[in-house]
Amino acid sequence: MSAALALKDVSRILGVQGYQIQHAFMTGAVPEPEQRISGRRIFEDADVQRLAVHFKVKIAAAEAAAEPVEA
């Protein structure tokens, strides 16, 4: 099972600001993650990969591994 990441984790992994990721969702450039906990987006590996492609960032699989978000 893949790790569930919060926006701040994805922002750190990709090296972009959180507002840039949110803007990509709001404009429809990238589909939003399907999963939410308490109204917060939860990112799976596939979501991070889609964002990496959008922002033209290369990430290693090891970088995507972070502490899972606690429910």
Give me the residue spans of the domains in the chain.
7-64
User: What would the two tokens of residue 69 be?
Assistant: 């978000």
Q: Are 15 and 64 in contact (CB under 8 A)?
A: no
Instruction: Name which of 65, 67, 64 is nearest 48 in CA terms.
Output: 64
DSSP letter at 40?
E
pLDDT band at 70 (very low <50, low <70, confident <90, very high): low
| Res 68 pLDDT > 90 | no
DSSP letter at 70?
P
Neighbours of 66 (CB within 10 A): 17
Q: Which residue reads 């033209």 in tokens?
A: 56
User: Could you give phi then psi for residue 41, rounded to 5 degrees?
Assistant: -65, 140
Q: What is the mean pLDDT of the chain?
A: 86
pLDDT in tens, 9-23: 999 999 999 999 999
